[in-house]
Chains A and B, each alone.
Chain A
Amino acid sequence: MNLALSDEQVFLREAARGALSRFKTLEAAREALDGDENAMPDLWPVAKDAGWPGLLIDEDHGGAGLDAFDAMLVMGECGRVIAGIGLLGHLPASAILNASPAGAPLLEALASGDRRAAYLPVCPPDDIAEGWSADPEHGSTRPGAPAARSDGEGKARVSGTLAFVPDAPGADVLVGVAILEGKPVGVAIESDAEGVAVEALTRYDSTRSLGHVSLSDAPASVLDAPVEDLEGAWHLAQSLIAAESLGSVETALEVSVAYAKERHTFGRAIGSYQAVKHSLTEVLRQLENGRSLLYYAGWARNGAPQEFPLAASAARSVGGRALDHAARTMISVHGGIGATWEHDAPLYFRRAQLSRRLLGGTGRASDRVAGELILQADAA
């Protein structure tokens, strides 16, 4: 039994914190909200220097050959300072390619960070839904996965739309799942190919780069990754955004606690009031639950792959809700100032509101937790 961080993992986390601390990410986020299009620092060179693009790529192909939990640690540090860095899109894409012999030629440039990938999120079937589905641009009707038609050996043409794809703008290669002859296959699509359109956008949170991706008979390489890894990319993305959210919870809690100690009313620090103290311990409770589930997801991906969908979905469910609660508590504890433009709390609030609606949303993750447990109960 060992659920403690290794020395290497502690070092990875500390190095990430140090590297990201050199940037004023929060100030940049506010300036970007104010309309300064050049405010956001390009953090990809930081990721490159640190070797993060290759975290999940085998050493044979120039990567670090590390595991999902290591990637979660880095995502947590990004979340602490709400850094927009491109890893949420890149890492699940790299995991699909790494699981596919046909993806090997792409890996080296992606591991070094010379090229950047974005994951086209397509949600795998569950105990009720038989098909794969993508996030819709509006409302709640989910379109199916992109459709592929064969275009010669190892090649296909892919058509479909994917809305709110994290880190799609500027990505060199788009990697996801399409349905070819009734079966899900991995596909890799060069973003400058004909038939590929990426509409860059932000929503509410200036730190999050998103894109609507439209594919119209776009040429793709078919990836021979096992279906478990195609599904696994979705669950990996769930655990990464969970880790990122929990990193943001850490900061929100630290800032709120510090303020609760220094702000006095009626002659005493507000943190001494049970009403304030208990709401902050509630943030801590949700944070600790989320952390435990990151361990579960990190362990399950290799240690019990059949539980990875459950573990990652549970982490997402708790992590997404924890950030929403932490951001709201941060605002409340600070009183009126917490709801103003000059405070950082609204930046965490904005991050929370968008994050929990991306990649199928926190609610969809909760639903999958139920579905996975119902399937387990049926099998027992």
Chain B
Amino acid sequence: MDLDDTPDQAAYRAQARAWLEEHKAEAPVLQGVGALEDEAEILAARRAWQGKLAEAGLAGVTWPKEYGGQGLGPIEQVMANQEIARAKVPGILDAIGVGMLGPTIIAHGSEDQKTRYLGAMLHGDEVWCQLFSEPAAGSDLAAVQTRARLQEDGSWRLSGQKVWTTNAQFASYGLLLARTDADVPKHKGLTMFVVPIDAEGVTVRGLRQISGEAEFNEVFFDDLSVDAGAVVGGVGNGWGTALTTLMFERVTIGLGGEGMGYNSTRFAAAIAGDEHARRDPEVRHKLGEIASELLAVRFTGYRTLTALQKGQIPGPEAGLAKVTIVSGAINAGDLIADVLGPDTLLEDSEWSYMISFLPGLKSAGGTEEILRNTIGERVLGLPPEPRLDKGIPFSELRSKEGAAV
């Protein structure tokens, strides 16, 4: 049992560290003295920086070499991320594309798609967004209603609405899950498409959150036309393709929690700065319980990496880590606000944004409830809840929804 790098890993880490040391002055400054303020400038600078990270082999580390990656394992990607954090420079702009959508195209896409899209995605030249969730399809993702209709010339026309779409405001492309056949059961009539975002028939509208900021969007499709080459993974295979993306999403979230700043060290520092609170038994008790769980997540991450390194699929601890991170951070934000008072909620306080962000994060990447269902069924082997939509054509579901209860 050790947390040490193997000689190969140590060499990779040293190389990453040396490159960052040499090039970190080229990274965009996003916070503090000299920070960029103009949004367009920030975007351009972050795109360029992603390109440099990709050239240096610090982004898309697990991607095959032929598509610009390094052909290495997830542990090297984590090491690259650790070194990027250590150098106090921003990571890549398009973590969703490079971490989840690119790997989906690598797994299911055509040669044309791989050649056309992957290089530009990895280098930040074209940013991507994930067009899965809809107003009436989140936890029950296979209920998407966005329709793609086949035209006589073999092209498709898409209409519908997507939501919670991060980065759509500056994305070039999206990976979109649409219904291509409503007369078969809902998981069967789905198809995955590559769609352009800056095209006629696509409207992106910012969706403001509790904090007042708009980090994600609603995206409307009104008869958008795409050609046959836009289908990823075959017509009618959209569900299987989507599951691949969701698997990469879980790995990304499971390994990324500490990077979001939700860790015991940071939370404890806030309490340590208050002379009374740091000696208050009740505050200490709560802090100790919260911090213990967040410390556990750090080592759960190492367990996940151990499994990945051995070529195994990470166990249930990886999925449950998200629940622990979110609930731990919520409780920590609550405790810190109790200790520091209403100024914690000032817009420019260190904690206000986190406190506003977390209630929504609880549902992001799968609600806590759906996650517990999945783990209860797949890991503990508990029987699934009876469902009313099995084997029923999607087009008939709506009429049966009310009747069944």
Contact = CB atoms under 8 A, between A and B. Distances in A.
Contact of A289 (B285, B324, B375, B380): B324
A4 B379 CA distance: 19
Task: Report whether over half of chain A's contact residues are helix, strand or loop; otherwise say mixed.
Answer: helix
B287 A370 contact: yes
B75 A289 contact: no
Contacts of B297: 289, 292
B320 interface: yes
A312 to B, nearest CB: 11
Grouping DSSP codes into helix (H, G, I), strand (E, B) and loop, the B interface class, with mixed when no group exceeds half, is helix
B292 A366 contact: yes
B382 A292 contact: no
A321 interface: yes
Interface stretch (A29-37, A98-106, A271-279): A271-279
B396 interface: no
A20 interface: no
A371 interface: yes
Contacts of B300: 288-289, 292
A318 B296 contact: yes
A274 B385 contact: yes
Contacts of A277: 372-373, 376-377, 380, 382
B385 A272 contact: yes
Interface in B360-392: 369, 372-373, 375-377, 379-386
A289 B296 contact: yes
Given A69-B1, A272-B386, A370 B285 contact: yes
A113 interface: no
A271 B377 CA distance: 9
Interface residues of A, number: 58
Contacts of A285: 320, 323-324
A278 B374 CA distance: 10
Interface stretch (A186-194, A200-208, A337-345, A372-380): A372-380
Interface string B284-295: 110111011101
Nearest to B270: A377
A82 B271 CA distance: 38
A307 to B, nearest CB: 10
Interface in B258-306: 264-265, 268-269, 271-273, 278-279, 281, 283-285, 287-289, 291-293, 295-300, 302-303, 305-306
B382 A2 contact: no
Contacts of A276: 382
Contacts of A315: 292
Given A1-B306, A303-B3, A321 B289 contact: yes
Interface in A235-273: 253, 257, 260-261, 268-269, 271-273
Nearest to B370: A274
A299 B289 contact: no
B288 A369 contact: yes
Nearest to B303: A3
Given A2-B1, A281-B376, A290 B383 contact: no
B39 interface: no
Interface in B1-25: 1-5, 9
A296 B295 contact: yes
B256 interface: no
Contacts of B279: 128
A298 B119 CA distance: 43
A292 B299 contact: yes
Given A69-B1, A257-B381, A271-B382, A373 B268 contact: yes
A263 to B, nearest CB: 11
B125 interface: no
A1 B4 contact: yes
A299 B1 CA distance: 7
22 contacts: A3-B305, A4-B306, A4-B307, A260-B382, A272-B384, A274-B372, A281-B380, A284-B379, A289-B297, A289-B320, A292-B296, A292-B300, A310-B295, A313-B292, A318-B292, A370-B271, A370-B285, A370-B287, A371-B284, A374-B268, A374-B271, A376-B265
User: Which 4 pairs show the lowest CB-CB distances between chains A and B?
Assistant: A366-B288, A373-B268, A289-B296, A377-B272
Given A315-B292, A317-B289, 19 more contacts: A1-B309, A2-B2, A4-B1, A268-B383, A271-B383, A272-B386, A278-B373, A284-B320, A284-B379, A288-B300, A289-B292, A299-B1, A366-B284, A367-B284, A369-B289, A369-B291, A369-B292, A370-B271, A371-B288
